[in-house]
Amino acid sequence: MDEGKMDENEWGYHGEGNKSLVVAHAQRCVVLRFLKFPPSRKKTSEEIFQHLQNIVDFSKNVMKEFLGENYVHCGEVVQLPLDFVQQLCLKIQSERPESRCDKDLDTLSGYALCLPNLARLQTYHFAEHRPILCVEIKPKCGFIPLSGDVTHEAKRRVCRYCMHQHLKVATGKWKQISKYCPLDLYSGNKQRMHFALKSLLQEAQNNLKIFKNGELIYGCTDARSPVADWNELAHHLKPFFFPSNGLAGGPHCTRAVIRELVRVITRVLLSGSDKGRAGALRRGPGPRGPRVCEASPFGRSLRRQGKNSPECSGLPKGCLLYKTLQVQMLDLLDIEGLYPLYRRVERYLEEFPEERKTLQIDGPYDEAFYQKLLDLSTEDDGTVAFALTKVQQYRVAMTAKDCSIMIALSPCLQDASSDQRPVVPSSRSRFAFSVSVLDLDLKPYESIPHQYKLDGKIVNFYSKTVHAKDAAVVSTRFKESEDCTLVLHKV
């Protein structure tokens, strides 16, 4: 990219989250990722450069190590002309969802991250004229904590995502509770994964987006977004899954297309080679938390069938979901066990503020930082060193709980080789695919007190509004027959 000759007309709004905004180049497979801040919070250019460089270093030295280099794209920090950034900011403003406009794009530093556009296949030698379908999933936390420090009984049976749903709906963030449960997606059991993906398709919230040729065709930005339309989605997807087939429209066609999509995504999620060092985080055969969340309709359906522990296929060790889960499980103590350790570090820093640098609280995120993360002991010897290791592991785990997985699919011609890319078959076509992770920004040390408070709020709200009620009341969330149809429907 020639940073000297930048034209805002070549870039378009692509998407944004809580902390960054992404624009995509119209022709080339690159995006620019800018930081966003509340209007009152001004940072210096040097701070912004350092923040972005930390993101690159953390991806390179930590997440690439854990997840494997094929999945992680670190990008690079670029310096752009200020007039380009300001014009670009004006150009895209009208496309931003209202709910995200509480923060402004940083137009003052001129720094941004340049990354491959993962909504198009991420390597440049891949022919760009081929149609591309891309599914982005933000799977969230895939396990129930086992830590002895957990005091809220509900946390031992219901996963954080399912509990949080109730608070989100009550506060108006989303309109209705989703049937998606991360434990179903992370189960490795195809039937449960199909259920999880269908549930995401029914209620995408911010956990699912679908792009066609780089354009968002499915997903919602906030509670005001229009209701998801499966017929429209199927219309977009039909040429991918039934290329030369006269499959007529209508509900049968919609179901067939959605079924193919769910099957293909499941296969891709279960694929993968065993590169990356997430294996270094394996905790041996000791006890582990429940494998099914009580709030998941799938789990409830199993219980009704008298199957308390599901047939567990488990995730293959090489796949990205497995590796992501291993990193998430660096949160060994749960926020309830971690918070007192955070306080220990805080007390030490209050006494020795100059030590903040030595403790690598704000970086550098280098090889030494990575090595310390591999110490999985939970034996507290009362030291600051122990507390610090757990705090840093927690931050990394939280990052993995909030990242997204991008799956790009491009149809292969029946007889053509796939440029050495892995290929996934569907019933009427074959796709070359790539899988990548995005949003691997290390969660800030300062967010720990917020996490502690939020955790209490989520659990208390859940316990008050749902758990306290009788199981029959809980089940009004779902019509039982509908839930069984989803479970038993062969996909």
Ligand X SMILES: O=P(O)(O)O[C@@H]1[C@@H](OP(=O)(O)O)[C@H](OP(=O)(O)O)[C@H](O)[C@H](OP(=O)(O)O)[C@H]1OP(=O)(O)O
Where along the sequence are the contacts to ligand X (CB under 6 A)?
A: 17-19, 206, 398, 402, 443, 447
- Point out which span in 15-23, 39-47, 139-147, 371-379 binds ligand ATP (CB under 6 A): 15-23
* DSSP structural state of residue 443: P
104 binds ligand ATP (CB under 6 A): no
103 binds ligand ATP (CB under 6 A): no
- Return d(Cα 334, Cα 337) in angstroms, integer: 5
Q: Provide the phi-psi class of 415: left if phi over 0, else alpha when psi is between -120 and 50, else beta.
A: alpha
- DSSP secondary structure of 72-114: B---EEEE--HHHHHHHHHHHGGGS-GGGTTSEE--SS-EEEE
CB of 191 to ligand ATP, least distance (A): 28
Site string (351-390) toward ligand ATP, x via CB under 6 A = ----------------------------------------
- Give whichever of 17 and 139 is closer to ligand ATP, judged by the CB atom: 17
- Return d(Cα 15, Cα 206) in angstroms, integer: 12
450 binds ligand ATP (CB under 6 A): no
- Return d(Cα 19, Cα 286) in angstroms, integer: 38
Could you say which of ligand ATP, ligand X, none residue 22 binds, taking C-beta under 5 to 8 angstroms by partner kind? Answer: ligand ATP
On the 0-12 / 13-18 / 19+ scale of CB atoms within 10 A, 262 is buried
Q: Which residues, at least 6 apart from 67, have a Cβ–Cβ distance to it below 8 Å?
A: 276, 278, 320, 323, 324, 327, 437
- Return d(Cα 112, Cα 130) in angstroms, integer: 29
Q: Using CB under 6 A, pick the residue from 65, 104, 106, 136 that binds ligand ATP.
A: 136
209 binds ligand ATP (CB under 6 A): yes
296 binds ligand ATP (CB under 6 A): no
- Point out which span in 2-10, 249-257, 279-287, 438-446 binds ligand ATP (CB under 6 A): 438-446
Tokens found for residue 368: 């030494």
Q: Which of 489, 463, 129, 65 is nearest to 281 (CA)?
A: 65
Could you say which of ligand X, ligand ATP, none residue 231 binds, taking C-beta under 5 to 8 angstroms by partner kind? Answer: none
CB of 168 to ligand X, least distance (A): 7
Q: Using CB under 6 A, pick the residue from 55, 85, 89, 119 that binds ligand ATP.
A: 119
Could you say which of ligand ATP, ligand X, none residue 209 binds, taking C-beta under 5 to 8 angstroms by partner kind? Answer: ligand ATP
CB of 444 to ligand X, least distance (A): 8
489 binds ligand ATP (CB under 6 A): no
CB 68 within 8 A of CB 62: no
294 binds ligand ATP (CB under 6 A): no
Could you say which of ligand ATP, ligand X, none residue 137 binds, taking C-beta under 5 to 8 angstroms by partner kind? Answer: none
H or E segment to which residue 431 belongs: strand 430-438
Q: Which of 249, 326, 219 is nearest to 281 (CA)?
A: 326
434 binds ligand ATP (CB under 6 A): no
Place of tokens 């199927």: 234
334 binds ligand ATP (CB under 6 A): no
Q: Using CB under 6 A, pick the residue from 109, 117, 296, 393 that binds ligand ATP.
A: 117
- Point out which span in 110-118, 229-237, 290-298, 305-313 binds ligand ATP (CB under 6 A): 110-118
H or E segment to which residue 483 belongs: helix 480-488
CB 141 within 8 A of CB 160: yes
Q: How many residues bind ligand ATP (CB under 6 A)?
A: 22
Which residue is nearest to ligand X, using beta carbons?
A: 18
- Return d(Cα 479, Cα 327) in angstroms, integer: 35
Find the binding residues for ligand ATP in span 19-48 (CB under 6 A). 19-20, 22, 31, 33
Q: Parallel, antiparallel, or unpaired for β 104-105 and 20-25?
A: unpaired
CB of 454 to ligand X, least distance (A): 6
**Contact footprint for ligand ATP (CB under 6 A):** 14-20, 22, 31, 33, 115-119, 136, 209, 402, 404, 438-439, 441
